Structure 1
Amino acid sequence: MNHTPVYIVCSPRPLVGKTLMSRLLSEFLLLKNGAVNSFDINLREPSLLDYLPAFTETADIDNTFGKMQLMDRLIVDDGVAKVIDLGFHAFDEFFKMCEEIGFLKEAARRRVVPVILFMADTDRVSARGHEVLRDQIPPASLVTIDNEYVVRGELPVAMSQGRMLYIAALPAFLKTYIDRLSFSFNDYLRHEKDSSAELHQWLRKNYLGFRELEQSLILQKS
């Protein structure tokens, strides 16, 4: 069965790697499928739109019109994967809206598969946010991202019991390198011939993780 995935990258806290994850996932989908629609719901700069302007658009959920515009785009089964970089300021409002309009049920009816990628942290705000999602999102649709750059040590038990995706930390000089607005992960893969390079290995491992996640969705819906 064909389906259209909608990946929602989120956290109730800033500076946990949401935009980096959204960039990685968007470029993976672009490389694999030739197309992706990405949405930027952020206040901070730089944001996903700054990195990937060719296929990213801003979205606003501060008013009813903006919410309707976004949801109309997300529930279309057009075969083009969607990625949402959900700013921390919009976390509560976005998932409150999803619950009020029955987004998950409507998505299932239209063969759209939402996947929530929660960027983990060890503070109370993150714990509360993860608990809210566990109450609202089916376990198969909630993936906790263990970003080593942010979480240095063990995750809280409640976050480590469901589906997980691990992102290794890069050395500071490589982190600075990929944080440049002009940097493209796919361009790097095309031009870097040394597959043993640390960044090359890191990127391939992350893309493999996305591929396994995508395949699990296919099996889940087949």
Structure 2
Amino acid sequence: MRHVLMSGWTPIFIACGPLAHAGKTLSARLFLEFCRANGPPPLAFDLNPHDAELTATTNGAAEIVNLSTTAGQMRLFEGMLQAGPEARIVDLWHGSYEPFLDLMEQMDFASEAALRDFRLVLLLHGSSLEELDVHAAQLRARINPAETIVVLNEHICEAAGSAFARFEHCLAIPPLAPSILRRLERMRLGLVEGTDAEHGLPSMVARSCLRDWLTQVFAQFHCIELRHRLGATTFNPG
């Protein structure tokens, strides 16, 4: 008999895309809360120094970094590779998209991350399948080794059905009532916190909707985690 040994992995999740209002911050927030619920709190970076929404919606759980400064570049890239088992999450502001990719290429960051046993996961956002197709191909050509996951955020673009399956790796974020997100923001609650019967959203219906939504999204995150853990498996005879 053979036993499968799943290795540990330290992911670097980067929510990215060249367009504004594409759902990047929501994805980063979801991954942050998923990691926090399943292990040590992640190291998170908010790269929008003008409107740090990830930092605001997570009660300061993400560090604000200005990539236009040398100090900011050092903090981000050294922080992503600092020793430790915590997942790393980056909410990449669209205004820093091209400069960030240029820096990644100049430093050959993806290769350095792989040497240190980090897994680079690029969460690509957009508003149409056509532009996602183009940008996914560009990312694969520019940043390697890395996994590019195309994110279909149904708050931003309509469900694409079978057409979305043409991407090798994809993630679908179903719609959630905007009123629930607004209420969470007003109450300064995290997404997972909002489902708590005692301290979460006051409406039982809203808590149920939020719980169902998180279950759908987190199930996909578990699949991503399992795929990476199995990606470095070894087989021992038993």
Q: Which residue in the other structure is 1:148 paired with?
A: 154
Q: Which residue in the other structure is 2:4 paired with?
A: none
SS in 1 for 2:66: coil
Q: Which has the higher mean CA deviation after the structures are superposed, 45-54 or 156-165?
A: 156-165
Q: After TM superposition, list the pairs within 5 Å mapping 1:1-222 onto structure 2.
A: 1-45=7-51, 47-122=53-128, 128-138=134-144, 141-154=147-160, 160-180=166-186, 182-191=188-197, 197-222=208-233
Task: Quote the RMSD (CA, aligned, Å).
Answer: 2.8
SS in 1 for 2:89: strand
Q: Output the CA distance in 1 between the equivalents of 2:59 and 2:177.
A: 27
Task: Summarize deviations over 1:50-89 as a string: whole Å, max 9, x none.
Answer: 1124431111221333212211111224101010000000
**Structure index of larger Rg:** 2
SS in 2 for 1:185: coil
Q: Which has the higher mean CA deviation after the structures are superposed, 150-159 or 21-30?
A: 150-159
- How many residue pairs get aligned? The number is 222
How big is the shift at 1:96?
1.1
**Runs of 5+ consecutive residues of structure 2 not aligned to the other structure:** 1-6, 234-238
How many percent of aligned residue pairs carry the same amino acid?
Answer: 23
Structure-2 change in CA distance of 1:19 and 1:221 (3 Å): same
TM-score (norm 2): 0.82
**Runs of 5+ consecutive residues of structure 1 not aligned to the other structure:** none
Structure-2 change in CA distance of 1:152 and 1:214 (3 Å): same
